Amino acid sequence: MNLLHVIGNLVLVVCCWFLSLISLNWVSNGGIMTVKSGLIGGDGGQIWMKLWDQISVFGCKIQHHYSQYIGPKKLRKNWWRKLLIAWILCGIILSLSVFWYMSSLALDKRKETLASMCDERARMLQDQFNVSMNHIQAMSVIVSIFHHDKNPSAIDQTTFARYTERTSFERPLTSGVAYAVRVLHSEREQFEIQQGWTIKRMDEQTPVHEDEYDPADLETSPAHDEYAPVIFAQDTVAHVISVDVLSGKEDRDNVLRARESGKGVLTAPFRLLKTNRLGVILTFAVYKRELPPNATPAERIQETAGYLGGIFDIESLVEKLLQQLASKQTIIVNVYDTTNFSDPISMYGSNTSSDGMHHVSALNFGDPIRKHEMHCRFKQKQPWQWVAITTSVGILIISLLVGHIFHATVNRIAKVEDDYNHMMELKKRAEAADIAKSKFLATVSHEIRTPMNGVLGMLQMLMDTRLDETQQDYVRTARESGKALVSLINDVLDQAKIESGKLELEEVSFDLRAVIDDVLSMFLGKSQDKKVELAVYVSSKVPATLVGDPGRFRQIVTNLVGNSIKFTDKGHIFVTVHLVEEASEMEFERDESLSGLPVVDRRRSWSKFRSFNQESPATSSSSSDQINIMVSVEDTGQGIPTEAHSSVFNPFMQVGPSITRTHGGTGIGLSISQCLVHLMKGEIGLASSPHIGSTFTFTAVFSNINGQQQVNGSISSSEFQGMRALLVDPKKIRAKVSKYHIERLGIHVEVVPDLSLGLTNTPTVNMVFIEEEIWDCKNVGNPKMLILSNSCSSDSARSPFAITKPLRVSKLAASLQRAMGMSSGGNNLSREIHALSLRNLLHGRKILVVDDNPVNLRVAAGALKKYGADVVHAERGAKAITLLTPPHLFDACFMDIQMPEMDGFEATERIRKIELGIKNGIEDGELSVEAYGNVSNWHVPILAMTADVIQATNEACARSGMDGYVSKPFEAEQLYREVSRVFQTMSDESH
């Protein structure tokens, strides 16, 4: 997302910069000179700086707008769209203007070319014309000298014709030259006689064809003041001889102007008589004598002797000229006589309409009155401006492309945002589904557990009845299956809880050794069935009481031991508990395993633990009251293939599909264990070799119970305190285990490898424990002999008491009691033990039961009364508070959670508050201890009663200050567990 935004911004800024550059260029197109001069002048830098400032401010503004609009999506979308349209419009305008600019440049260039070409032609025409004119003027001088100044004349018609003929190359523009003499009326007759012809009148109205032209047909000129008959003519124009040029209107004007000005004079263009082409006549006056340049017109008229005229064929003239020049094809030339401005006379060229571009060049033929112009046009129209077209189209395409990219980017951003929102929605839904799944699992597990508890309860009751062996077996199997199902459900529930991160650990004090013993007793049957030796050893350095979550700890150990049992068919399973600090001192004895079978090096199982790889873990843990426990479970089972080591802790992962078929199970046990170990701030690892066995090791951090460190985990109340025992076992490691258990009873143990050796050395022992292996039937001594046996079916006839392994402190105590004759015959059924213990625990206790439901109240009271408790009931929380306000005589209280007016949590909280107030009051000396029965620290155990074992109950109970909870209706085992726990801690506190 962020990246896209950044890119979008960048594109925007670049676009703005580009736009403003273009606009700048455009604006300064006219005034580019000023900018340039500014640059040269030195403050150009400032201008550029300002410009850049403006651009960046604009960019910032856009960015500002952009970030402002990022919130409301629709607004932003519209904004984008407007910008896009503006951008495209800009692109179109830009491309059009570029096209216009470039084509105008091309036009200008074309115009320039035309002008230069036209001027060039005009100049050449003018030059050639001038050359001819000069020659004609020269001829006028010749005529003046040789005709008029000589008498008789040196020139006659023949001479003139020959001369003109031979010098015609000098006058390329003239088609002919003729000389007319001035004849006054008085001299006419004499002149006509001298010449032999009459003066003829020019007939311009009816021009006739050359072939039919005959001077004889012309009329004789009428009488005038003077005449100007042609006497000499070039052969090409010989037909004009004898024609009076003054009789033609055009010619007359010409002649009159010529003699007045003394310069060459041009006629308007007219159709030539013979060729019928357009031409002009240039007339020069010939004077009788050389006149001064400042002579007046009257003097000039007076002195005029004749007139020399040259006929210019303009059309052929121009054509000839154009032929001489290259690129004749490209332009069309028109020559006009524009003396009469409103009606120009075309002298050359087709009379096409001049709609396109044309250029006009002025022509000066030396006659100031006559004005001539040359018009030039390109023959072809202007070709397509491909460069301009391609450039502008290119710019258009580029701007459209940029627009498209922009559009695509915006769309992409919008799409990504939509996708993101969609994903968020999906994520939310997935999370909701996950929560729903967890809830569903919790609910379903709970709903399954409730009827399962019914089934198990009924089975238990059924077991209590008189059943024969087979029936007993069936019922036991059914019960075991049910229990397995419940534990599986619990596993699934745990997994769900762990996955949703809702699992929280308890913080209660517990006896680790007892927990381990419990776990061991659970697997008693199985291990005996499989003939696998099950043993436990807890290091004496491990404190007796730890604070942590015994249930979860038990779960981990159970999982590991359960796994080991599943995969071990011979040999042993050995659970050891040490402090982590001891691990480094531990040595591995390859030959010395519990069952004699080879085992894997257990040190490998913790070699990857972080706490071992770090330096000085021991000092840090021992300095605080954190106790770092390390538990190893060693077995001699089939082991785990090396490639599966990494995956065994994944949920639902088993070594192979065959495992599932052979051993069953869901494969989540280890995964849960791993999670639990992590929750206990520990690590778990394994070392395993196929066909040798596996060792799982985990560490867990518990806190030490404040101050009092009972390093020796002995049961102080044991009646065996101070006795001495001899343990005969050749195997060191097994002896160590046995010694540990026996010492827990407070018995002093001495280990000897051989019985005879032991008896001779230490005569004052109360009992002798002998490993079954080395038991010799004949050897019956005075002290009580006990055999440590692995199987329960050992022959009882073999006299001394056999104590079946695995050793547990309770079992050992019971066996010893039996052996020493201290106790009555025990009853093995745990239920009855529980009932008995409950009776012991509850007998004579004064217990308050609080429940708003009279039926429930009655049932709970009945159940408690059955165990000999003195029950008082209360129906309301308020009443309970009154009854439980110290001083009172209640030993415990069972409190329903769901009660109207005041629920169990609230009532408990209030009671705790009152107790705390009294405690503080006594400490402050405001209240006397005597008034509260010499007890300063009142804390009546309150147990919640609840029908719904909901997830939060445990935490909720702890939060409101309750000591535990029992489910309704009462179940003997749970009741026993909770009550014993509560009374245990009570007695602990009173100590």
Partner 1 sequence: MEVDQLQRSFLEYTTSLFREGFLDGQFGQLQMLQDESNPDFVVEVVSLFFEDSQRILNDLSITLNQQNVDYKKIDANVPQLKGSSSSIGAQRVRNACIAFRNFCEEQNADACRRCLQQVKQEYLLVKEKLEALIRLEQQIVAAGGAIPMLNEFS
Specify the stretch interacting with partner 1 by CB under 8 A; choose among 140-148, 431-439, 717-725, 855-863: 855-863
Dihedral angle computed from the Cα positions of residues 68, 69, 72 and 78, in that order, rounded to the nearest 10 degrees: 160
- Cα–Cα nearest to 304, from 316, 312, 296: 296
Q: How far is CA 344 from the centre of its chain?
A: 81
Contact between 466 and partner 1 per CB under 8 A: yes
Specify the stretch interacting with partner 1 by CB under 8 A; choose among 111-119, 301-309, 519-527, 848-856: 848-856
Specify the stretch interacting with partner 1 by CB under 8 A; choose among 53-61, 206-214, 629-637, 861-869: 861-869
Contact between 865 and partner 1 per CB under 8 A: yes
b (16+ CB within 10 A) / e for 480-496: eebeeebebbebbbbbb
Q: Is the dihedral of CA 101, 104, 105, 106 positive or negative?
A: positive
Contact between 968 and partner 1 per CB under 8 A: yes
Among 465, 824, 828, 990, contact with partner 1 (rule: CB under 8 A): 465
Contact between 470 and partner 1 per CB under 8 A: no
Q: From the CB of 900, what's the least distance to partner 1, in Å?
A: 6
Q: Is the dihedral of CA 75, 77, 79, 81 positive or negative?
A: negative
Contact between 469 and partner 1 per CB under 8 A: no
Complex with partner 1: residue 690 or 969, whichever CB lies closer: 969
Specify the stretch interacting with partner 1 by CB under 8 A; choose among 392-400, 823-831, 876-884, 966-974: 966-974
Q: From the CB of 1, what's the least distance to partner 1, in Å?
A: 42
Complex with partner 1: residue 466 or 991, whichever CB lies closer: 466
Element (H, E) at 58: helix 44-69
Q: From the CB of 956, what's the least distance to partner 1, in Å?
A: 17
127's CB contacts (< 8 A; 6+ apart) are none
b (16+ CB within 10 A) / e for 499-533: ebeebeeeebbbbbbbbbbbbbebbbeebbebebb
Q: From the CB of 493, what's the least distance to partner 1, in Å?
A: 21
Specify the stretch interacting with partner 1 by CB under 8 A; choose among 452-460, 505-513, 597-605, 620-628: 452-460
Sole residue written with tokens 């007796």: 544
Among 72, 763, 887, 969, contact with partner 1 (rule: CB under 8 A): 969
Specify the stretch interacting with partner 1 by CB under 8 A; choose among 128-136, 285-293, 391-399, 967-975: 967-975
Angle, vertex CA 809, rays to CA 834 and CA 536, nearest 5: 120
Pairing of strands 270-271, 724-728: unpaired
Q: From the CB of 443, what's the least distance to partner 1, in Å?
A: 13
Contact between 950 and partner 1 per CB under 8 A: no
CA distance 35 to 469: 117
Complex with partner 1: residue 457 or 961, whichever CB lies closer: 457
CA distance 684 to 675: 9
Sole residue written with tokens 């839904």: 429
Contact string 873-902 vs partner 1 (x = CB under 8 A): -------------------------x-x--
CA distance 832 to 121: 141
Residue type at position 303: E
Complex with partner 1: residue 466 or 691, whichever CB lies closer: 466
Which long-range contacts link 95-100 to residues 24+ away (Cβ below 8 Å)?
95/392, 95/393, 95/395, 95/396, 95/399, 96/392, 97/26, 98/388, 98/391, 98/392, 98/395, 99/385, 99/388, 99/389, 99/391, 99/392
CA distances to 18, 147, 340, 795 from 264, in Å: 67, 20, 19, 169
Among 35, 295, 345, 462, contact with partner 1 (rule: CB under 8 A): 462
- Cα–Cα nearest to 456, from 977, 971, 976: 971
Q: From the CB of 522, what's the least distance to partner 1, in Å?
A: 24
Residue type at position 383: P
Count Cα atoms within 13 angstroms, Cβ side, for 738: 30
Size (the chain), residues: 991
CA distance 723 to 820: 12
Among 330, 500, 660, 856, contact with partner 1 (rule: CB under 8 A): 856
Q: From the CB of 941, what's the least distance to partner 1, in Å?
A: 23
Among 233, 496, 863, 943, contact with partner 1 (rule: CB under 8 A): 863
Specify the stretch interacting with partner 1 by CB under 8 A; choose among 367-375, 502-510, 511-519, 857-865: 857-865
Q: From the CB of 945, what's the least distance to partner 1, in Å?
A: 10
Dihedral angle computed from the Cα positions of residues 13, 15, 20 and 26, in that order, rounded to the nearest 10 degrees: 170
Among 357, 398, 458, 878, contact with partner 1 (rule: CB under 8 A): 458
Complex with partner 1: residue 735 or 863, whichever CB lies closer: 863
Among 153, 330, 791, 853, contact with partner 1 (rule: CB under 8 A): 853
Complex with partner 1: residue 634 or 852, whichever CB lies closer: 852
CA distances to 504, 553, 629, 631 from 740, in Å: 33, 21, 17, 16
Complex with partner 1: residue 425 or 447, whichever CB lies closer: 447
Among 150, 404, 858, 959, contact with partner 1 (rule: CB under 8 A): 858
Complex with partner 1: residue 48 or 474, whichever CB lies closer: 474
Contact between 844 and partner 1 per CB under 8 A: no
Q: From the CB of 447, what's the least distance to partner 1, in Å?
A: 10
Specify the stretch interacting with partner 1 by CB under 8 A; choose among 427-435, 456-464, 658-666, 717-725: 456-464
Complex with partner 1: residue 475 or 561, whichever CB lies closer: 475
Q: 660, 654 in Cβ contact below 8 A?
A: yes
Contact between 862 and partner 1 per CB under 8 A: yes
Q: From the CB of 842, what's the least distance to partner 1, in Å?
A: 14
Quickly list DSSP for 519-551. HHHHTHHHHHHHT-EEEEEE-TTS-SEEEE-HH
CA distances to 850, 875, 897, 898, 901 from 855, in Å: 12, 11, 15, 14, 19
Q: From the CB of 489, what's the least distance to partner 1, in Å?
A: 19
Q: From the CB of 843, what's the least distance to partner 1, in Å?
A: 13
Three-class DSSP category at 982: helix
b (16+ CB within 10 A) / e for 291-319: beeeeeeeebeebbbbbbbbbbbbbbbbe
**What are the backbone dihedrals phi and psi of residue 325, each rounded to the nearest 5 degrees, phi first?**
-95, 150
CA distance 453 to 486: 8
Among 852, 915, 963, 978, contact with partner 1 (rule: CB under 8 A): 852
Contact between 603 and partner 1 per CB under 8 A: no
Among 47, 644, 833, 859, contact with partner 1 (rule: CB under 8 A): 859
Specify the stretch interacting with partner 1 by CB under 8 A; choose among 455-463, 491-499, 545-553, 804-812: 455-463
Among 301, 414, 467, 814, contact with partner 1 (rule: CB under 8 A): 467
Contact between 461 and partner 1 per CB under 8 A: yes
189's CB contacts (< 8 A; 6+ apart) are none
User: In the chain, how many H helices and how many E strands?
Assistant: 28, 31
Specify the stretch interacting with partner 1 by CB under 8 A; choose among 422-430, 648-656, 859-867, 959-967: 859-867
Give the count of residues interacting with partner 1 (CB under 8 A).
27
CA distance 295 to 246: 23
Contact between 31 and partner 1 per CB under 8 A: no
Angle, vertex CA 911, rays to CA 908 and CA 912, nearest 5: 85
Among 485, 947, 958, 986, contact with partner 1 (rule: CB under 8 A): 947
Residues binding partner 1 (CB under 8 A): 454, 457-458, 461-462, 464-467, 471, 852-856, 858-859, 862-863, 865-866, 898, 900, 947, 968-970
